[in-house]
Amino acid sequence: MPTLSYQVRTYGCQMNVHDSERISGLLADAGYVEAAENEDADIVVFNTCAVRENADNRLYGVLGQLAPKKKDNPNMQIAVGGCLAQKDQHKIVEKAPWVDVVFGTHNMGSLPTLLNRARHNQEAEVELLEALEVFPSTLPTKRDNTYSGWVSISVGCNNTCTFCIVPSLRGKEKDRRPGEVLNELQALVDDGAIEVTLLGQNVNTYGVEFGDKQAFGKLLRSAGEIEGLERVRFTSPHPAAFTDDVIWAMAETENVMPQLHMPLQSGSDKVLKDMRRSYRSKKYLGILERVREAMPDAAITTDIIVGFPGETEEDFEQTMEVVRQARFASAYTFQYSKRPGTPAAEMPDQLPKEVVQERYERLLKLVNTISEEENRLQIGKTVEVLVANGEGRKDNTTMRLSGRARDNRLVHFTVPENAEVPRPGDVVTVEVTDNGPHFLISDSQTYSVRRTTAGDAWDRSQLETCSTGIPGSISLGMPSLPIRG
């Protein structure tokens, strides 16, 4: 049999993006090769999300589109993993009997074996574990890019938010020991990365398993001692457990970026109580105030849910007021989605779709207005941008390149005529000349390039691509959704 190709399609949060790197590593380790862009793959793996209702419809719609392709290709296999697989389990094969493998959030390491077994037995393999057996970081990894990486410090969640299905799918929180995390950070730096993002469903409860409530702040400070690691980010913290020692660790550790993603979910104390979020709006705004006192240039982003059961117009206006006070650099806004198995799905006073839609549009307008105003304040400032590849050029007319500033704002910049063109992973210093609601622009002659080890690693990856004929898959890997917290 010829060498089979694979493709991994990822939906959802950064945790899923990181898991997909593990899935790709497993398949590459098993002898499969990554399919070229726009090429039909022999193995298609869906790493799914179950946070929102349309995730189900989207998956089953795409599975339906693949059915005729599988009929035409006898070697083709389809696998479904991730949170939706953990939730729906055997239902996936019942609704899409052409699926070969269903695996859960706790056993993605079994995927190559399950694919082989399904091929041999000519029937679907469904294997889902109820608890994590092997921490994902022990699995092989095929990273999406050379200059940035994800590192899980924990999996699972001990919170009981009434709208969230994640704890039942990911399980209780399990923490890695600090030494293991730091060793992985060092390995990424040795491999050329200069930026990492620490991942957890609730990173600031890290240490709960080994009894150290200040473990996360200590971990940030330890990451600051790794030579060559220039940028450290993390997502997502929970406001209820966010402590001042973390704020000071961020402010006092040079390579921890001035950026914080802090889920709000609602500005109404009544709705927060119904959500079982153990903080109130005053505490939330107090955290933001202390963060900005310690880091005046910090960019703060958030998640907000509109239309939670029982939300009144007064509740919604309280959310709008918190948004006005918080001045978020950007916000991920969601319409409440009823998820079977969550307490919120059984609550009375589920809101009509048209009410939720109207409030969502008002919130989105306010969020975008504030984001643009905050971005406008960046005009004239000089920023350091980690040059990306996956963000792409802004358009074919301007031919601007793109990357992320230290505060994680997206920057589209022009390379002046006759100036050195940076590689993905290099760092450019530019002056902001314009903005939109979701990005900054630099068309200034203020421009310099700092070549980095990450850029060197990019060059090596391109040479390897040329020698093997297998296209690289280099991208910044910024997903549309943060980890819901």
Q: What is the pLDDT of residue 361?
A: 97
- Quick check: 95 pLDDT over 60? yes
Each residue's pLDDT tens digit, 400-458 = 999 999 999 999 999 999 999 999 999 999 999 999 999 999 999 999 999 999 998 88
As assigned by CATH, the class of the 5-133 domain is: alpha beta
Each residue's pLDDT tens digit, 203-257 = 999 998 899 999 999 999 999 999 999 999 999 899 999 999 999 999 999 999 9
Q: Does domain 142-376 have CATH number 3.80.30.20?
A: yes
- Quick check: 344 pLDDT over 60? yes
As assigned by CATH, the class of the 382-451 domain is: mainly beta
SS (H, E, C) the chain: CCCCEEEEEECCCHHHHHHHHHHHHHHHHCCCEECCCCCCCCEEEEEECCCCCHHHHHHHHHHHHHHHHHHHCCCCEEEEEEHHHHHHCCHHHHHCCCCCEEECCCCHHHHHHHHHHHHHHCCCEEECCCCCCCCHHHCCCCCCCCCEEEEECEECCCCCCCCCCHHHHHCCCEECCHHHHHHHHHHHHHCCCCEEEEECCCHHHCCCCCCCCCHHHHHHHHHCCCCCCCEEEEECCCHHHCCHHHHHHHHHCCCECCEEECCCECCCHHHHHHCCCCCCHHHHHHHHHHHHHHCCCCEEEEEEEECCCCCCHHHHHHHHHHHHHHCCCEEEEEECCCCCCCHHHHCCCCCCHHHHHHHHHHHHHHHHHHHHHHHHCCCCCEEEEEECCCCCCCCCCCCCEEEEECCCCEEEECCCCCCCCCCCCCEEEEECCEECCCCEEECCCCEEEECCHHHHHHHHHHHHHHHHCCCCCCCCCCCCCCCCC
> Domain coordinates of the chain in residue numbers?
5-133, 142-376, 382-451
Q: What is the pTM of this model?
A: 0.82
Domains 142-376 and 382-451 share a fold: no
> Which is higher by pLDDT, 475 or 360?
360
pLDDT, the chain, mean: 88
Q: What is the pLDDT of residue 172?
A: 83
